[in-house]
Amino acid sequence: MKHNIKYLICLLSLAAVVVSCEKTIKFSGEEQKSMLVLNSIATPGDTLGVNVSYSIFFLDNLSEYAHDGISLPDGECDIKAVINGSSTYKFTRSDLTGDYVCSYVPAEGDRVQISADVPGFDSVKAETTVPEKASFDFTSHSISKVDSTEDLLKISFSIHDRENEDDFYMLRVFLITDYSYMNPETGKPDSTAFVTRCDFASSSPVFRKLDVSSLLEEIFGDEFQESTLSPLFSDHMFDGEDYEIEVLLNANHFSGPVSFSYGGTESISDYTYSYKVRMDLTAVSDDYYYYYMSLENKDNGYDLGELFGESSQVYSNVDGGIGFLGALTGNVKEFDF
């Protein structure tokens, strides 16, 4: 009985602490009109597409947009791309995705301008330049032991940076597991591959730390007290030079094959496997770099707490509206491991 009374007193005390009052405050500010929102990424080898919608006021009833969303009415959009100041391409809406597509395929060095005119909205326009492919080479890779249970794969590569140019890069590393096996349905040799994106650590000063969560410490163990690294970096520390970077991967990913089933039903037990490491060093436009850096700043501010974190503005290069137009050019290399 005494225990129940103490428990009740604790609950009442907690309720007294957390109880709060609510007050409705009428918004007296100026209501912002809707603007066109334009988002697109130009990539060599892929036809150019663009997503165009419109903004809504933060006090609007969102249920009104539950069915049709914030897409634009059919037949009222004049969206076009002008390439290098001369060639013009008209966009049409894709029935499959709802985005707008055209026949233009970006090429390195192209200057891309996209504009949109829609009745009832201010016209919008954005420009970007498709970057040249990044140049890099692997220089070495090796396995080293951290302790009896942890192994590290060290990969070194050299970037050949352009002189007197502002270059921006994004690094992504993948593990590819190739399986060869006898297909149980056809009775013939077959193969498949699994691709996994890998987190990496690095002591190179070109990478910036994003937060204080020490994600890589969980991956690599206590030896690595690193914060999560941004995959984006610039050449401001090595403009025009051959610059070597070393990254570290958890080599325990390579310790044995993952199990898999053919068609999700029959288990494959008789197979061979091999590993590859794929490195994608992507050259990104300045617009892409600044946009995603601003998103990282915004997310990092949330990690520190909305109450004390400084408000971050998301980068936009769309004149007359919001959104962004960027470009990227990938360069992928692999080595067997």
Residue 20 lies in a domain: no
Are 109 and 156 contained in the same domain? no
Contact 84, 22 (CB under 8 A): no
The residue to which tokens 């005119």 are assigned: 117
Strand 111-117 and strand 332-336: the pairing is unpaired
* Cα dihedral across residues 195, 197, 198, 203: positive or negative: positive
Share of the chain above pLDDT 70, in %: 68
Q: Are residues 72 and 170 in the same domain?
A: no
Pair 103, 214 in one domain: no
pLDDT band at 262 (very low <50, low <70, confident <90, very high): low
The amino acid present at 144, given as its one-letter code, is S
- The answer as to whether 58 is a domain residue is yes
Indicate the residue among 109, 129, 149 that finishes a domain.
129
For residue 149, is it within any domain? yes
The pLDDT of residue 317? 95
Residues 267, 168, single domain; the answer is: yes
CA angle 210/213/216 to nearest 5° reads 85
| Domain end marker among 129, 164, 198 | 129
| Cβ contact 332:45 at 8 Å | no
Report yes or no on 292 lying in a domain.
no
Sign of CA dihedral 89, 53, 287, 108: negative
Residue 26 resides in a domain: no
- Exposure on the CB side of residue 147, measured as CA atoms within 13 A: 6
The answer to whether residue 314 is domain-embedded is: no
- Reduced to 3 states (helix: H, G, I; strand: E, B; else coil), residue 138 is strand
pLDDT for 143? 81
The answer to whether residue 270 scores a pLDDT higher than 90 is no
**194 and 243 together in one domain:** yes
Angle at 223 between CA 221 and CA 227, to 5 degrees: 80
For residue 11, tell me if it sits in a domain. Answer: no
Question: Which of the four pLDDT bands, split at 50, 70 and 90, describes residue 218?
Answer: very low
What pLDDT is recorded for position 290?
Answer: 94
Number of domains the chain is built from: 2
Report the side by side order of strands in the sheet with 242-250. Answer: 136-145, 151-160, 242-250
pLDDT at residue 309 is higher than 70: no
Query: Are 42 and 49 a contacting pair, CB within 8 Å?
Result: no
Residue 275's Cβ-count burial label (10 Å; 0-12, 13-18, 19+) is middle
- Residue 61, pLDDT above cutoff 50: yes
| Whether residue 113 is found in the same domain as residue 192 | no
Q: Report the percentage of the chain scoring pLDDT > 90.
A: 41
Per-residue confidence (pLDDT) for residue 124, from 0 to 100? 95
Task: Please give the pLDDT value at position 49.
Answer: 94
Shared domain for 268 and 195, answered yes or no, is yes
Cβ neighbours of residue 37 under 8 Å, at least 6 residues apart?
Answer: 51, 52, 53, 54, 55, 70, 318, 321, 322, 323
Split at pLDDT 50, 70, 90, the class of 215 is: very low
pLDDT confidence tier of residue 302, bands split at 50, 70 and 90: very low
Number of Cβ atoms within 10 Å of the Cβ of 144: 11
Does this model's pTM top 0.85? My answer is: no
Q: What is the pLDDT of residues 127-141, one digit of tens each?
A: 999 999 999 999 998
Q: What are phi and psi of 27, to 5 degrees?
A: -70, 125
293, containing H or E segment: helix 286-304
**Residue at which a domain ends, from 67, 94, 129:** 129
Do 149 and 220 have their domain in common?
Answer: yes
| 276 and 147 together in one domain | yes
Binning pLDDT at 50, 70 and 90, where does residue 295 land?
confident
Examine the domain organization and report whether 146 and 278 are in the same domain. Answer: yes
Is residue 293 in some structural domain? Answer: no
- Terminal-residue alpha carbon distance, the chain: 67
Provide the 8-state DSSP code for 188. S
Please check whether residues 196 and 223 belong to one and the same domain: yes
3-class secondary-structure state, position 137 = strand
Tell me: pLDDT of 41 over 80: yes
Q: What is the CATH number of the domain that holds 72?
A: 2.60.40
Owning domain of residue 179: 136-283+331-336
